[in-house]
């Protein structure tokens, strides 16, 4: 009888490692006199009073270059071995790092310079080479005395606009008595002062005009710092500049030469000269995004704000601001010229896709999208989308599931808030937006039903910072109407009351709010956080109004109606929390995710609308289970319903956790090892689905667990993902039998057919 692969794997791995270790004698390939560099070690000999500083130690260790050859599992130099034997030498292997390529004296000098910059003025750095017959390592030693600290901080210079402004900026100084002396902090302070002076109108000032004088003669290991302005700087650097003129060139291109180009109409808008070459935009609208005003001092904040607001309108390919000195009668003035080059404002796109789903449905989908970025000459984005598709079953013995779908959706986004009251121009680098959308969709499953749906919303989107975004829709509604049903489908509904209620016609009407935090644009971080939280309400205000007007108490059996149809009443909250830990060389990532959500129907409804319920399974969820096939709870879909692939399992509560380790393979290929866990549950009992209700004493035992590995073809702008997963824990099995780890047998064709799930998707799962 053949031993399962899971039992043989440890022995096979041990044998593989033994063979590799025996064959990886890389020093045998070295030429006479060469030594393999195996790395360096740093020892800090601290005198009494020297503080522990892990950051400083890390910075010193980063100077110990080059890095030695990497190891596999910390056991042997696999890539070096592949290079030496000539197997995929250029793609998988790496050449040996020799002692002759290391310059320890240069490394020691760099360490000494770093320590000097950090205030360790009395220090020594030395090194020794420990050589064996074919290998060598380097030992660096740094003798440290307590670092010097900042004593006093003063500003030199007689009273003048520049000196007075310089002293005023010191209220926000980074230099504080008692802090360690650090050259990097001095550089940051110089940049901070320059930025503060730019805010006060010193347009021509530069950081290199500042000079720090350090005096360590005060004793007690203190350094007194005096800040002064270098002598002989340009006179312009000492003056406060205000705007004398502002010119905006709309429709500018590189073929047009400065302001003297004929063909552009010039109008005066809020004291600015607006030169209109293409007559595509309303001048007053463009001026709302310009924060440079005649007579005001120059400000770097207003400069950056103007650039960001104009670019975020989405209608300009290039935005450039040029400043010219325009001294008049001895007054330091600036003339600002803003050049606006528009993008292509109207586009149409056609896309034909071949869609293959994990529920054995496949077919073509055609989508066409028309986009006008300037519908009303105020950078209003109008999008009109048309789509149509056809699906038919392949394999699986299914029949009667042929279907087609069609839809039309229109969306209008305005680059400002539309409110019943007047709002001042928001002083933010991000453009606030108002969006409105309306869509109609038809789904026709030929042997079962025809469904019509209407979606509409009105709301606002605005960014608080680069990482914080708010989305608020005070008005959002969905109407789903089951237009036709067949006797075959009616039989399914009669057999499952919950399924019937899910397909009942209902209005979803109410506000929703979403907050998003995402710091992944901050590339200097090694750890990134993503959070998305939302709250969705429906029917509550309408229910309150009708209850006050009718003085009748509604119930799910006798609900309030609008336009002749009952409406849903519920509250729904969900969160999506992700954390990314990136290695120092940006090559590997540990990504984790937690999803939680709960929805509760009340008043006018007894169940959540199907489109607002939670599902689990599929390529972006618990990948060891088919999409929407898991749960709720320990419930298992009967074979009679499982044959009808459109019946998806959904619930009121969701809990899911994922962990994925991503690492490079070769060129554009990246690998991943992952573990997924989660399930959904119902808030109320459903007799047709035993085991589906959430219970605090049993929900942990109903968590599904799956694992697997994946391959990604990562082209940066496009990622094709293949994930092969299999279950470790199946909640629909009887209690005590849900862990199925012992049953794993990759060598068994039947096990592979019943358990391996291949997910093919575009992009990363999270």
pLDDT at 259 over 50: no
pLDDT at 4 over 50: no
d(CA 574, CA 653): 9
Collapsed DSSP state (helix, strand, coil) of residue 589: strand
Q: Which residue has the higher pLDDT, 355 or 227?
A: 227
Q: Which residue has the higher pLDDT, 730 or 486?
A: 730
Phi-psi region of 74 (alpha: psi -120 to 50; beta: other; left: phi over 0): left
Of residues 762, 649, 761, the one with CA closest to residue 704: 649
Instruction: Calculate mean pLDDT across residues 109-128.
Output: 94
> What CATH number is given for 149-238 in this structure?
3.10.20.310
From the candidate CATH numbers 3.40.50.970, 3.30.70.20, 3.10.20.310, 3.40.1380.20, the one assigned to the domain spanning 242-342: 3.10.20.310
Instruction: Calculate mean pLDDT across residues 159-168.
Output: 93
Cα-based distances in Å from 278 to 251, 281, 552: 5, 8, 62
Residue found by looking up tokens 């110990």 in the block: 64
Bridge-partner residues for 616, per DSSP?
none
Element (H, E) at 712: strand 704-714
Count the Cβ atoms, other than its own, within 10 Å of residue 281.
22
Domain boundaries, the chain: 5-144, 149-238, 242-342
Q: Do domains 5-144 and 149-238 have the same CATH topology?
A: yes
pLDDT attached to residue 117: 94
pLDDT tens digit sequence for 557-591: 888 888 777 889 999 999 999 999 988 666 789 99
Structural contact between residues 276 and 267, judged by C-beta atoms closer than 8 angstroms: yes
Backbone phi, then psi, for 234, in 5-degree steps? -60, 140
Residue 313 CB burial class (10 angstroms; 0-12, 13-18, ≥19)? buried
Count the Cβ atoms, other than its own, within 10 Å of residue 352.
10
Instruction: Calculate mean pLDDT across residues 326-354.
Output: 87
pLDDT tens digit sequence for 639-689: 665 555 455 688 999 999 999 999 988 888 899 999 999 999 999 988 888
Count the Cβ atoms, other than its own, within 10 Å of residue 400.
15
Q: Which residue has the higher pLDDT, 704 or 603?
A: 704
Average pLDDT, the chain: 86
What HEC string does 392-453 produce? EECCCCCCCCCEEEEEEEEEEEECCCCCCCCCCCCCCCCCCEEEEEEEEEEEEECCCEEEEE
For domain 5-144, give the fold: Ubiquitin-like (UB roll) (3.10.20)
Element (H, E) at 461: strand 449-463
Element (H, E) at 7: helix 5-23
């Amino acid at each position: 009888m053949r031993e399962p692969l899971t039992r043989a794997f440890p022995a096979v791995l041990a044998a593989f490692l033994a063979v590799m270790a025996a064959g990886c004698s890389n020093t045998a390939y070295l030429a006479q006199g060469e030594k393999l560099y195996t790395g360096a070690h740093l020892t800090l000999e601290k005198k009494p009073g020297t503080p522990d500083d892990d950051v400083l130690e890390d910075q010193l260790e980063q100077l110990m270059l080059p890095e030695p050859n990497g190891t596999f599992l910390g056991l042997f130099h696999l890539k070096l071995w592949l290079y030496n034997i000539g197997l995929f030498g250029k793609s998988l292997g790496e050449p040996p790092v020799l002692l002759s390529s290391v310059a320890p004296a240069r490394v020691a000098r760099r360490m000494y310079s770093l320590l000097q910059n950090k205030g360790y003025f009395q220090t020594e750095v030395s090194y020794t080479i420990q050589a064996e017959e074919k290998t060598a390592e380097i030992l660096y030693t740094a003798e440290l005395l307590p670092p010097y600290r900042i004593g006093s901080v003063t500003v030199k210079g007689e009273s003048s606009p520049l000196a007075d402004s310089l002293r005023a900026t010191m209220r926000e100084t980074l230099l504080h008595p008692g802090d360690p002396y650090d050259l990097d902090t001095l550089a940051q302070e110089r940049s901070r002062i320059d930025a503060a002076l730019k805010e006060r109108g010193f347009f021509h000032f530069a950081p290199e005009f500042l000079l720090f004088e350090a005096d360590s003669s005060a004793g007690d290991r203190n350094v007194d710092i005096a800040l002064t302005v270098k002598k002989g700087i340009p006179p312009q650097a000492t003056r406060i500049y205000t705007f004398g003129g502002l010119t905006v060139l709309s429709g500018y291109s590189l073929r047009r030469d400065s302001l003297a180009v004929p063909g552009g109409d010039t109008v005066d808008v809020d004291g600015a000269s607006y030169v209109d070459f293409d007559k595509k935009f309303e001048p007053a609208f463009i001026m709302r995004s310009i924060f440079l005003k005649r007579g005001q001092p120059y400000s770097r904040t207003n400069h950056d704000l103007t650039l960001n607001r104009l670019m975020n309108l989405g209608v300009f390919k290039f935005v450039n601001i040029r400043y010219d000195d325009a001294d008049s009668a001895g007054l330091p003035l600036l003339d600002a010229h803003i050049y606006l080059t528009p993008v292509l404002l109207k586009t149409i796109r056609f896309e034909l896709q071949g869609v293959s789903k994990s529920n054995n449905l496949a077919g073509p989908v055609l989508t066409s999208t028309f986009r006008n970025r300037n519908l009303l000459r105020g950078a209003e984005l109008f999008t009109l989308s048309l789509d149509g598709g056809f699906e038919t079953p392949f394999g699986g013995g299914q029949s009667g599931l042929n279907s087609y779908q069609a839809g039309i959706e229109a969306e209008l986004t305005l680059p400002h808030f539309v409110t019943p009251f007047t709002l001042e121009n928001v002083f933010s680098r991000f453009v606030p937006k108002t969006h409105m959308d309306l869509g109609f969709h038809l789904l026709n499953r030929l042997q079962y039903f025809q469904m019509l749906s209407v979606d509409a919303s009105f709301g606002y989107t605005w960014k608080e910072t680069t990482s914080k975004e708010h989305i608020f829709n005070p008005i959002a509604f969905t109407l789903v109407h089951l237009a036709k049903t067949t006797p075959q489908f009616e039989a399914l509904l009669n057999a499952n009351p919950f399924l019937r209620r899910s397909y009942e016609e209902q209005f979803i009407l109410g506000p929703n709010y979403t907050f998003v935090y995402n710091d992944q644009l901050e590339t200097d971080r090694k750890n990134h956080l993503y959070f998305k939280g939302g709250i969705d309400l429906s029917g509550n205000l309408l229910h309150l109004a009708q209850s006050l007007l009718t003085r009748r108490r509604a119930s799910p059996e006798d609900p309030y109606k609008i336009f002749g149809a009952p409406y849903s009443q519920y509250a729904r909250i969900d969160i999506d929390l992700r954390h990314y830990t990136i290695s120092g060389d940006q090559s590997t990532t540990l990504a984790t995710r937690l999803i939680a959500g709960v929805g509760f129907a009340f008043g006018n409804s007894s169940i959540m609308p199907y489109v607002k319920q939670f599902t689990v399974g599929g390529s972006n969820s618990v990948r060891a289970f088919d999409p929407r096939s898991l749960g709720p709870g320990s419930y298992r879909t009967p074979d009679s319903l499982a044959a009808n692939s459109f019946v998806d399992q959904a619930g009121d509560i969701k809990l899911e956790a994922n962990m994925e380790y991503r690492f490079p393979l070769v060129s554009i290929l990246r690998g991943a090892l992952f573990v997924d866990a989660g399930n959904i549950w119902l808030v109320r009992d459903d007799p047709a689905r035993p085991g589906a209700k959430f219970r605090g004493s049993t929900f942990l035992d109903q968590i599904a667990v799956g694992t697997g590995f994946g391959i990604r073809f990562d082209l940066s702008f496009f990622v094709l993902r293949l994930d092969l997963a299999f279950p470790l824990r199946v909640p629909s099995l009887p209690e005590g039998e849900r862990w199925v780890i012992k049953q794993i047998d990759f060598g068994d064709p039947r096990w592979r057919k019943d358990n391996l799930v291949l997910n093919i998707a575009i992009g990363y799962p999270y």
